[in-house]
Amino acid sequence: MKKQLIAFALLAIAMTSCKQNKEETPLTNFIEIENNGTTVKVPIQPKTVAVLERGVMENMDELGIAFQGMAKEFTPNYLAHLENDKNIADMGAVFKPNFDAVSRLSPDLVFMDNAFPADYDEMIKIAPTLMLGIPNKGDNYLNYIQDNIRLLGKIYQIEPKAEDLAKDLDIRVNALKDLVSKSNDKAMVIIHSEGNFRLFDENTRYGFIFKDFGVKSATNVTAEVANNHGHMINSEFILEHNPDILFIIDRDAIVQKSAKPNVITNALLEKTNAYKNKRVIYLDPDAWFLSGSGATSFKIFLNDIAKGYN
């Protein structure tokens, strides 16, 4: 009996020790990330991840990191292989997550878009959550993308691979800047939607085109006409400033889920240098309007702008 009691005591101690180790071990597999004004304990190499921010989807795809859930509604065409992957659960839309689907996935980590912060308080009840993306004004645009790439490298312990991807973007930007610097042509960036135009210049979400790529603007923007969402203009305005290159983002193509942008033209536009010299460049609407915060869409940005100078 005495031997049995000793055996039971040793077994209890062993089980208690194992329980403590199981509870304590995961604590050493976290890193602390400052995000959204708070410190988030993020698991290293999380096993189950929900991605509700397209730049993160792009960067994880570029780095070969698998994830188990994503916001599939309005997926950019260049991420269709992820949308069609049956092993990746549908989490709704970036702007309207399906919280029940996220909860059923029971993720170790959630990435969500910083453009929709109202969902954050609900999301952190489900799992540790990081809000990533690009600041409204688009200042230091490339730096934010690179920081997010490096963050993934740290979380998944593939920092050299992440650094290679971040540096590759630097090389591509420098090549574009060199190409643009050889031209004195002036450009205009507009979004077209249902026959209306919005101008996007230095102080808007696409300001990096001018600030970081060195594209020369056809307009002189003042504080009164510049904002993150662009400024309403008309065909007369475009003709008045007469851009040598006209970059167009066709929002209607997104709404219509069209494979190609619509051809935008009228009698006034056709009088501009851009139309006369066939230098109207339709920017990939999926990259420019639906995403833009990851390596894949940023590379599309660079290729699209280069078309205006080749």
Cβ neighbours of residue 134 closer than 8 Å, sequence gap 6 or more: 55, 114, 141, 144, 145, 205, 292, 293
Q: What is the pLDDT of residue 253?
A: 85
Q: Tell me how far apart the alpha carbons of residues 294 and 149 are, in angstroms, rounded to a whole number.
A: 8
Q: List the structure tokens of 186.
A: 């002036």
Phi, psi dihedrals of residue 223, rounded to the nearest 5°: -60, -30
Beta-carbon contacts of residue 138 (< 8 Å; ≥ 6 apart)? 204, 205, 206, 207, 208, 228
When the pLDDT of each residue in the chain is averaged and rounded to a whole number, the result is 89
pTM of the model: 0.87
Per-residue H/E/C for the chain = CHHHHHHHHHHHHHHHHHHHHHHHHHHHHEEEEEECCEEEEEECCCCCEEEECHHHHHHHHHHCCCCCEECCCCCCHHHHHHHCCCCCEECECCCCECHHHHHHHCCCEEEEECCCHHHHHHHCCCCCEEEECCCCCCCCHHHHHHHHHHHHHHHCCCHHHHHHHHHHHHHHHHHHHHHHHCCCCEEEEEEEECCEEEEECCCCCCCHHHHCCCCEECCCCCCCCCCCCCEEECHHHHHHHCCCEEEEEEHHHHHCCCCCCCCCCCCCHHHCHHHHCCCEEECCHHHHHHCCCCHHHHHHHHHHHHCCCC
Taking the C-alpha atoms of residue 280 and residue 189, their distance in angstroms, rounded to an integer, is 10
Say if residue 301 is exposed, middle or buried (CB neighbours under 10 Å; 0-12, 13-18, 19+): buried
CA dihedral 126, 128, 133, 134 (to 10 degrees): 120
pLDDT in tens, 109-166: 999 999 999 999 999 999 999 999 987 666 789 999 999 999 999 999 999 999 999 9
Length of the chain: 310
Distance CA 190, CA 99 (A): 35
What's the one-letter identity of residue 145?
A: I
Give the tens place of pLDDT for each residue, 226-261. 467 788 999 999 999 999 999 999 998 887 777 677
Lowest mean pLDDT among 84-88, 140-144, 268-272: 140-144
Residues 16-58 pLDDT 10s: 444 344 343 344 699 999 998 999 999 999 999 999 999 999 9
